[in-house]
Amino acid sequence: MFTSDLRLKLTMPKGIDDRVVIADIDEDSIQDVGRWPWNRAILAELIDTLFDHYHIKVLGFDVVFSEPDDVSGLKVLEQLDSLKINDSQYLAASAEFKQKLAYDHIFSEAIKGRNIVLGMVFDQSNTDEINSLKKTISTIAQSLAEKTLIAKPQGYTGNIDIIHQATDSVGFFDNPNISEDGLYRKVPLFQLYQNGFHPSLALAITRKAIGDQNYYFNITKTGNYQAIEQVQLGSFIIPVDKTGSVTVPYRGSAGSFPYISVKNILNKSIAIDALKNRIIILGTSAPGLQDIRATPVDTAMPGVEVHANIISGILDQRIPYQPSYILGVELTIIIILGLLMMVVCNYLSPIKTMLFTSTLIALYLILNFLIWQQGIVIFLASPLLLIMMIFVVHMSWGFVAENNTKNTVKKLFGQYVPPGLVDEMVNKPEWITQEGQSRELTVLFADIRGFTAISESLSPKELSELLNLVLTPLTKVIYDERGTIDKYIGDCIMSFWGAPLPNNNHAEHGVSAALNMLEKVKQLQSSFSERGWPAVNIGIGLNTGEMSVGNMGSEYRMAYTVLGDAVNLAARVEGLTKQYGVALIVTEFTKQAAPNFIYRKLDQVKVKGKNEAVTIYEVVNFIGSVSDELIEEIRQFHFAYEYYCQQKWDDAAGILNTLANQKQSETNNVLYQLYLQRIKNYKLSPPDKNWSGVYSHQTK
């Protein structure tokens, strides 16, 4: 999957497709109109505005209206009517209010006669049939239905009758074909319910957009194999796989289509040309409405944009195709590549074998990408895996001076890395080198807070003992997480991950080590207190990036260490822990490489000696180890920070004051007071209008 995702990312057309526009129920709209769901009179107004004012082509709802709108007060009037009040004025007023409060009726009347596609949901396990289902677009024989792998849901949730009957077009927006890793790679164009085909929301919207063309299914039958390989919609040919799904032809990451706030549509502040003759999908980007999807191109893409990508792909005839004969083609390719590797490599030296293997991989990648750009999908990973497996078989692992190499490795690296890693390096010396290299690594700096004051309160012997008691368990934590000790700088530890042995999860190990180091220091406090020693706290900073690693120094003394801007940034970040009142800070690069933790965004900063801004985060804890209350506190702080960046000082200060007045830890209050002071200063001396929230630190 990784290789297929990489191929997709490298070949995406990118750019914004303004043929499809997302009417966004965003945070601004929710704040202006009210919390979702809105009463349907508002949605009726939205429909009227889109069709009458903006003259759009088609409107699709990434929403299902499965229950009546009971927020209007209509039930109260009906209960009053049951009292049989005969007052004429009351009866006239009641009739007038009923008409105004019949939001479902108002909404359905706005839908009638317009190019509108409603949403619905199929259920793969529950047999409940909620509300109504539209007539099938086609049917299939029971015998053929049993042989297909198309999703066959057990139940559904549709729209209430008054809304359901207002339009002739409904499409489902659930996805039963989510990949095992939770990513939206494939989405069904249709599902089979009681042997009847029902279209997806994207397919139904596309049909409306091109003039209600008829559906035609191209069914391939070969022996017992029967599958729908294509759907024809007017002049558009849409290839599908054996499950009736399309590989989503993503244009790019989130934002590949225009997002226009519903608030701005309702107040008609958008230019007519921005929406005229466009395909509009009503959906949401608001995180609180939980329509965020993980995709191969973006870990947090609004679900409505998945539909938009499919519509765009159909209109551009850009849906990838995997024909039934492709298995034979792939088998032939694998056999040819395997024979070439097995025969040719027998006559080549190890260096030439590497060159030949690299060339063969490059040629296959070029061939695969050329075929992909023609819209045909063939496997990428399996032939490459075969080439690499045969390459490994042909490489020579023996060395004449193997014992000398083992001893050299132990001598060079025994002082830096844990014994377990040394053993791995001895067994696989080809993985390591003393020469300087540029690698992506994660580096950590940990420093004892207030060490000068501590040293003044202890005798030299006690100070030495305290350092030993602190640094020994912290070093063990680093070793347990497969880290390399670079050096001890007085009361500071410098370590890194990813060298000398490669480690794809170096950032994960580094952050995990940092959290465990903080926990280890907490465990030491009681024993220090019993001795009458002052409490010890540490600050930790991590960064991930390209850095030089290897034996460095002079003719007189060499050391295996790391150097570079990424290392300096980690040291600067460690220094910032005191200013933000937190124990552990990482950069955006470490956060991106280590996603399995809860983070609090702290700031965008320019550290001393750097011109480029970097986002810094506090690592709160492991995922699953943070209370709901703290999660909410972090979320509120993020809201405050967004207001701060937008120069909405009062909004930000309001949230920060609320957080500061709650029962918070001292470190959190340091953070909140820091921002409250900044806001106070910025009110007196506002930053530039284009200021993005970046703060420049003038000290290390």
Instruction: Give the DSSP letter string of 194-241.
Output: TTEEEEBHHHHHHHHHTTSPPEEEEEEEETTEEEEEEEEETTEEEE--
Secondary structure in 3-state letters for 235-303 = CEEEECCCCCEEECCCCCCCCCCCEEEHHHHHCCCCCHHHCCCCEEEEECCCHHHCCEECCCCCCCEEH
Instruction: Report how far apart, in Å, the C-alpha atoms of 454 and of each of 446, 532, 614 are.
Output: 16, 12, 33
The reply to whether 411 falls in a domain is: no
Give me the pLDDT at residue 450, please: 85
Least confident of 121-135, 148-162, 241-255, 324-338: 324-338
Is the same domain home to 311 and 334?
no
The count of structural domains within the chain is 4
Q: Which of 581, 603, 623 is the last residue of a domain?
A: 623
Q: Which of 597, 623, 649 is the last residue of a domain?
A: 623
Give me the pLDDT at residue 34, please: 87
The reply to whether 467 falls in a domain is: yes
Instruction: Report how far apart, in Å, the C-alpha atoms of 562 and of each of 50, 559, 574, 592 are.
Output: 59, 9, 17, 21
Q: Is the pLDDT of residue 387 over 60?
A: yes
The two three-digit tokens of residue 385, written as one number: 């895996």
Mean pLDDT within 587-614: 91
Q: What digits encode the pLDDT tens for the residues 474-514?
A: 999 998 898 988 888 888 999 999 988 788 999 999 999 99
Round to whole Å and give the CA distance between 455 and 442.
Answer: 30
**How much is the mean pLDDT over the chain?**
84
Q: What are phi and psi of 65, to 5 degrees?
A: -105, 80
Degrees to nearest 5, angle at CA 457 with 455 and 459:
70
Pick from 286, 285, 282, 306: which is nearest to 294 by CA?
A: 306
Look-up: residue for tokens 């009517």? 81
Q: Is the pLDDT of residue 107 over 90?
A: yes
Give me the pLDDT at residue 598, please: 95
Would you state the torsion angle of the CA atoms of residues 260, 248, 124, 233, taken in this order, to the nearest 10 degrees? 90
Is the same domain home to 600 and 476?
yes
The reply to whether 402 falls in a domain is: no
Q: Which of 337-346, 359-368, 495-504, 617-626 ranks highest by mean pLDDT?
A: 617-626
Is the same domain home to 70 and 180?
yes
Contact criterion met (CB below 8 Å) for 695 and 604: yes
Contact criterion met (CB below 8 Å) for 3 and 384: yes
Task: For residue 451, give the CATH number of its domain.
Answer: 3.30.70.1230
Mean pLDDT within 238-262: 90
Burial 181-216 (b: 16+ CB within 10 A, else e): eebbbbbbbbbbbeebbbbbbbbbbbbbbeeeeebe
Q: What digits encode the pLDDT tens for the residues 324-358?
A: 666 677 778 788 887 888 777 777 767 777 888 88
Pick from 495, 601, 583, 488: which is nearest to 535 by CA?
A: 583
Burial 278-311 (b: 16+ CB within 10 A, else e): bbbbbbbbbeebebbbebbbbeebbbbbbbbbbb
Helices (H), 321-401: 326-344, 350-373, 381-394
Pick from 215, 217, 197: which is nearest to 206 by CA?
A: 215
Mean pLDDT within 655-669: 75
Q: What stretch of H or E contains 464? A: helix 460-480
Least confident of 257-261, 463-467, 616-620, 665-669: 665-669
Mean pLDDT within 94-114: 76
Give me the pLDDT at residue 74, please: 54
Strands (E), 498-638: 538-553, 558-563, 584-587, 597-606, 614-622
Is the same domain home to 631 and 592?
no
On the CB side of 690, CA atoms within 13 Å amount to 0
Amino acid identity for residue 341 in this structure: M
Q: Which of 394, 417, 449 is the last residue of a domain?
A: 394
Look-up: residue for tokens 């040629």? 363
The reply to whether 583 falls in a domain is: yes
Is the same domain home to 600 and 638?
no
Domain that holds residue 205: 2-12+29-284+302-315
Residues shown for the chain: 700
Bridge partners of 604, per DSSP, are: 615, 694
- 186's CB contacts (< 8 A; 6+ apart) are 177, 179, 241, 243, 245, 246, 247, 248
> pLDDT-based confidence at 12, cuts 50/70/90?
confident
Q: Is the pLDDT of residue 409 over 60?
A: no
Burial 619-642 (b: 16+ CB within 10 A, else e): bbbeeeeeeeebeebbeebeebbb
Pick from 190, 192, 186: which is nearest to 146 by CA?
A: 192
Round to whole Å and give the CA distance between 270 and 47.
Answer: 15
Is the same domain home to 653 and 614?
no
Round to whole Å and give the CA distance between 370 and 365.
Answer: 8
Instruction: Report how far apart, in Å, the C-alpha atoms of 376 and of each of 321, 323, 510, 676 are.
Output: 5, 8, 41, 57
Give me the pLDDT at residue 417, please: 59
- 484's CB contacts (< 8 A; 6+ apart) are 416, 417, 421, 495, 496, 497, 499, 500, 560
The reply to whether 332 falls in a domain is: yes
Is the same domain home to 332 and 261?
no
Is the same domain home to 526 and 653?
no
Q: Is the pLDDT of residue 437 over 90?
A: no
The reply to whether 408 falls in a domain is: no
Is the same domain home to 186 and 255?
yes
Mean pLDDT within 12-41: 90
Does the global pTM surpass 0.95? no
Contact criterion met (CB below 8 Å) for 560 and 548: no
DSSP string, 68-80: ----SSHHHHHHH
Q: Is the peptide bond before 37 cis (omega within 30 degrees of 0)?
A: yes
Q: What are phi and psi of 259, to 5 degrees?
A: -105, 120
Is the same domain home to 599 and 686?
no
Q: What is the DSSP letter of 429?
A: G
Contact criterion met (CB below 8 Å) for 299 and 276: no
Is the same domain home to 350 and 386?
yes
> pLDDT-based confidence at 419, cuts 50/70/90?
low
Round to whole Å and give the CA distance between 425 and 413.
Answer: 9
The reply to whether 410 falls in a domain is: no
Give me the pLDDT at residue 344, please: 78
Is the same domain home to 614 and 633?
no
Mean pLDDT within 254-273: 94
The reply to whether 96 falls in a domain is: yes
